[in-house]
Chain A
Amino acid sequence: MIKLAVYGKGGIGKSTTVSNISAALSQMGYKVMQIGCDPKADSTTALHKGKELSTVLSLVRDRKNDFELSDMVCEGFGGVVCVEAGGPTPGMGCAGRGIIAALEKLKEKGAYETYKPDVVIYDVLGDVVCGGFSMPMRDGYADKVFVITSGENMAIHAAANIAVAVDNFKDRGYATLGGIILNRRNVKNEDEKVKELCEDINSSIIGELSRSDTVIQAEDIGKTVIEAFPDSEMANEYRTLARAVLEACGIKED
């Protein structure tokens, strides 16, 4: 089982990218589980349009432990097992602690043993702002962390922070950095800036995505590019990225 976590600045396109990677991997024959780790609970929406999905934390709040594993997952496009951790009411509670509780509950209910995914992807909210958001990279969860960034300064700054956090945790047996995914915004000197980031954090760009209207069109109809426009150039980019992610995790796809 390959387990990876995807981080990056808010709004950089993590959920869109992760959902397309999941969809692409599922079409390559992999059983994928995508776990949204964001109180907004919108990581997997493009994979299961029209299907209702209760968040793990709303189930725990409403039913304590009186629910089944099947209540907190739904199968989306390509059989991707979709899970949303959820979180407290905005402005209240503790979202980071919520991620810990949700991931522990998922483990306790035997999610990994039951669905036996080949690939688990944690789609994590923005930056590693507190202990809760480092949960997906802790021992027993993701083995590799991928960071999505564009050439925008704030995105690069966030990516550098995440890389520092990963490095700080190296003696704790946490996940290691798998690489950088460049999601282009077509800003000036974009490639150079991201390459410089990679040098600073001793990593490399493992995949690149173009800025494309196809992504927006797919989003408008609530689907992934892989599902909505499978023959598009963008779909091919996501497939190439999916293979690169696998390769960074030690799996070579022909």
Chain B
Amino acid sequence: MCMMQTARVISTYTADVSGVPSALFELGGMVIMHDASGCNSTYNTHDEPRWYDFDSMVYISGLSEMEAIMGDDEKLIGDIVSAANELRPQFIALCGTPIPMMIGTDFDAVCSVIEKRTGIPTLPVKTNGMNTYVKGASMAFLELAKRFVTKKDKAQKLSCNILGVTPLDFSVNTSVQSMKNALTERGVEIVSCWAMGDSLENIKNSSAATVNLVVSLCGIEAAEYMKNKFGIPYVVARPTAAAFTDKIAADMRLSAQDGVNRITCAGESSNENARVIIIGEGVSSNSLAAALKLEADIDCRVICATDDMGVSLGKRSVTARDEDELMELINDASVIVADPLYKPVCPKGAGFVPLPHEAFSGRIFRKDIPDTAKDIESVIAQIERIL
């Protein structure tokens, strides 16, 4: 029997509710999780490696049973207005969790009232705790785009926004800086990075870019929005080792010229006989598969185990969110490349290459998370040893 939406053995990806503060953490806004009080450290410590080193205004509303039953939005509004008047954040983001979802809290209306009373831009992010972090971060970036990105003069040179950057996919090692370096070395100017190591001011200038680079599925909705609103095409791929990053830069140049979106990480071949399987977030995993082919001629299949956001990731990639479904898909694998917490469900006899992923195993293996923008030598070496 297949048990849908159940993980008996492996971990689960962190939920949409954690994706929101992760996306907005560095931008000077106040993020309110509208949630019951209790242990809320999931949002800001377990899922947030920057918590102890970087000040950010992430709060929980402390929704009580009676407030939920009576629909007392006024308490929430009053608390936020009072805190915001004291702290004067650059914006306020109000995020949903399962209880407000069940009682049908009208986030648009509540945010509109808060904005009227404080004069501070207030963004509704209607998460409900039912999806993975990808959806939550994506919704947050989309609201950011809708609210803050205004029309600017286009840059003359090839320039981009890097969309979909959170520690949940990129951790807090050198990955983000390496990715930026890799792009600038290839002649791509970076307008903004959504949203690590950058400011809200730079993000507001995003429409000056000639192309967007979506480096995780978290960035896809903001990219779609900017394509429709400002005509900025996007390329979907995560810079991974040299050869594939060359291809990404070339595709970015093409897209900036012809205005066509490109999913550069999508595989053209199904690789159905490939015995190496990568499990993880769709863009990172497919980019690694593309890089492994270019760098070491290794064919892989990919399982996107998060929300795929409706992005067509090519023939070698399938989406599987359930443990049982996943186990069926990997039962003929010789090598599995995935977060270490996947190991218990891998078939006996298959080799395992650990690729820790913050959104799946949190801080446990953080020190082992590689900087794949720089190189993937160790991944190649481990796969080749097994093969």
Contacts and interface: CB of A to CB of B under 8 A. Distances in A.
A172 B112 contact: yes
Nearest to B117: A171
A96 B109 contact: no
A198 interface: no
Contacts of A174: 109
Interface stretch (B36-44, B99-107, B200-208, B218-226): B99-107
B125 to A, nearest CB: 16
Contacts of B103: 97, 130-131
A100 B108 contact: no
Contacts of A138: 106, 108-109
B63 to A, nearest CB: 14
B71 A139 contact: no
Interface string B69-105: 0010000000000000000000000000000001111
A96 B101 CA distance: 12
A35 B116 CA distance: 32
Contact of A171 (B71, B104, B105, B113): B113
Interface residues of B, number: 12
B109 A100 contact: no
B117 to A, nearest CB: 10
A220 B59 CA distance: 58
A222 interface: no
B122 to A, nearest CB: 13
Interface string B310-337: 0000000000000000000000000000
Nearest to A96: B104
Contacts of A130: 71, 103-104
A135 B103 CA distance: 11
A112 interface: no
Interface string B108-135: 1110110010000000000000000000
Contacts of A169: 109
Contacts of A207: none
A93 B90 CA distance: 40
Interface string A86-119: 0000000010110010000000000000000000
Interface in A121-172: 130-132, 134-135, 138-140, 169, 171-172
B109 A132 contact: no
A132 B104 contact: yes
Contacts of A173: 109, 112
Most chain-A CB neighbours within 10 Å: which of B71, B103, B110?
B103
A171 B102 contact: no
Interface string B47-77: 0000000000000000000000001000000
A134 B116 CA distance: 22
A94 B333 CA distance: 44
A220 B58 CA distance: 60
A131 B105 contact: yes
A169 B108 CA distance: 13
Contacts of A94: 102
Nearest to A132: B104
Nearest to A138: B106
A97 B104 contact: yes
Given A130-B71, A131-B71, A171 B116 contact: yes
A132 B106 CA distance: 10
Contacts of A132: 104
A172 B106 contact: yes
Given A130-B71, A131-B71, A171-B116, A139 B109 contact: yes
Nearest to B71: A131
Interface string B133-157: 0000000000000000000000000
A172 B104 contact: no
A96 B106 CA distance: 13
Nearest to A98: B104
Nearest to B108: A139
A96 B109 CA distance: 18
B113 A131 contact: no
Nearest to A133: B104
B108 A97 contact: no
A140 B112 CA distance: 14
A131 B71 CA distance: 8
B87 to A, nearest CB: 24
Contacts of B112: 139, 172-173
Nearest to A101: B104
A109 to B, nearest CB: 14
Interface in A24-41: none
B387 to A, nearest CB: 39
Nearest to A131: B104
Contacts of A131: 71, 103-106
A170 to B, nearest CB: 11
Contacts of A172: 106, 109-110, 112-113
Given A138-B109, A172-B110, 19 more contacts: A94-B102, A97-B104, A100-B104, A130-B71, A130-B104, A131-B71, A138-B108, A139-B108, A139-B109, A139-B112, A140-B108, A169-B109, A171-B113, A171-B116, A172-B106, A172-B109, A172-B112, A173-B109, A173-B112
Interface of B: 71, 102-106, 108-110, 112-113, 116
The 4 closest A-B pairs by CB, nearest first: A131-B104, A172-B109, A100-B104, A132-B104
23 contacts: A94-B102, A96-B104, A97-B102, A97-B103, A97-B104, A100-B104, A130-B71, A131-B103, A131-B104, A131-B105, A134-B106, A138-B106, A138-B108, A138-B109, A139-B108, A140-B108, A171-B113, A171-B116, A172-B106, A172-B110, A172-B112, A172-B113, A174-B109
